[in-house]
Amino acid sequence: MAAKKTDGKKKSGNNIQKRETRWGLLFLSPWLVGFLLFTLLPTLASLAFSFTNYNPLEPENISFAGLNNYARLLTDPFFRQAMAVTIRFVLISIPFALIIPLGLALLVNSPNLLGKNIYRALFFLPSMIPLVVNVMVWRGIMNSESGWLNKALVALFGIQGPNWFQDEKWVIPGLTIMGIWGAGNAMIIMLAGLQNVPTELYDAAKVDGASGLQRFRHVTLPIISPIIFYQLVLALIGSFQYFTQAYIVSNGRGDPNGATMFYNLYLYRTAFNFLDMGYGATLAWVMFVIVLLITIFLFRTQQRWVYYAGGE
């Protein structure tokens, strides 16, 4: 009898578990269907297209190209130009993407600052504005003739401002300045890290005679290094995927003289302007591999400078 009761309880428990599993899958099904239709299948399709010559307007003429699209990268001057523009932007913008949010976080975390919440809201607000709106506003602000930025440079310093988005030497710095406007989101994350630094460590450093700069270097930076590492990874991935700002500023052409022909803009023009979907898919997968390798490298080398409290 005891064995029968035990078997009955097991069957009842199994039935409940199966019912909960079915309900769970039912609630997950909209997301699963969406993931399948709009993420997984397009990703697999793009991988298949990268080995073909495919024009979406002439699907009946699709042909297998093997590795020809990948070999084409080696002789494509526009591919090299797009990579050079993107890498230059990464090298210029990444330091600002880390230093500016950290500086703002230190400012609004200062015990001597009055109205902290107001400043936090003001610094964070621009990051809530849609990206396209931000770019349109900054394109007006940095207009070489009517923009108030150049007018302010003349009025305050007597300096004639550059043609930010018409001069190929200044377009990357101009886009970098534009990106600083959206530093509020990263600032909030940095601020959360600063507020989690144990005050006992600061007190101990003061007792040892450490100056403010020494406390920042030997206490603050090691404790928030995981946050800095997280922001570094996000900034690198975002910089390699840079598209919207360059598209709007150059009207989708990569002007001036190819100075804004970022990798993703070249990919977009190849696939959707010139309808070379096979080569466009190849460009997409090459970028995926590049970003993946850089990300793996960062994670493999993080133990050299990232400090985790748990000793990982």
Q: How many CA atoms does the CB half-sphere of 208 hold within 13 Å? A: 12
* Spatial distance between the Cα atoms of 101 and 106, rounded to a whole number of angstroms: 9
pLDDT of residue 7: 56
CB 305 within 8 A of CB 73: no
The stretch 61-79 carries a mean pLDDT of 95
pLDDT of residue 212: 87
Q: Which pTM does this prediction carry? A: 0.87
Dihedral sign for Cα atoms in the order 51, 53, 56, 62? negative
Tokens of 186: 């990263």
Q: Give yes or no for residue 6 having a pLDDT over 60.
A: no
pLDDT of residue 229: 96
CB 193 within 8 A of CB 133: no
Report the C-alpha dihedral over residues 185, 188, 192, 194, rounded to 10 degrees.
110
* Residue 176: Cβ within 10 Å count: 16
List, for residues 234-243, the tens digit of each pLDDT value: 999 999 999 9
What are the helix (H) ranges across 36-111? 41-49, 68-72, 77-108
Q: Say what percent of the chain tops pLDDT 90.
A: 67
Dihedral sign for Cα atoms in the order 103, 106, 108, 112? negative
* Spatial distance between the Cα atoms of 19 and 103, rounded to a whole number of angstroms: 53
Q: Say what percent of the chain tops pLDDT 70.
A: 95
Tokens of 215: 């406390």
Going by pLDDT thresholds of 50, 70 and 90, the confidence category of residue 24 is: confident
Q: Give yes or no for residue 8 having a pLDDT over 70.
A: no
Going by pLDDT thresholds of 50, 70 and 90, the confidence category of residue 182 is: confident
CB 220 within 8 A of CB 138: no
pLDDT of residue 116: 86
pLDDT of residue 172: 94
pLDDT of residue 190: 95
Task: Decide: helix, strand or coil at residue 141.
Answer: helix
Going by pLDDT thresholds of 50, 70 and 90, the confidence category of residue 248 is: very high
**C-alpha Rg value of the chain to the nearest Å:** 26
Angstrom distances, CA of residue 241 to CA of 89, 166, 195, 246, 259: 11, 22, 31, 11, 16
| Of the candidate ranges 138-147, 267-276, 293-302, the one whose mean pLDDT is the lowest | 138-147
The stretch 2-30 carries a mean pLDDT of 71
What's the chain's average pLDDT? 90
List, for residues 187-234, the tens digit of each pLDDT value: 999 999 999 999 899 889 999 888 989 999 999 999 999 999 999 999
Is it true that the peptide bond before 256 is cis, omega within 30 degrees of 0?
yes
pLDDT of residue 127: 87
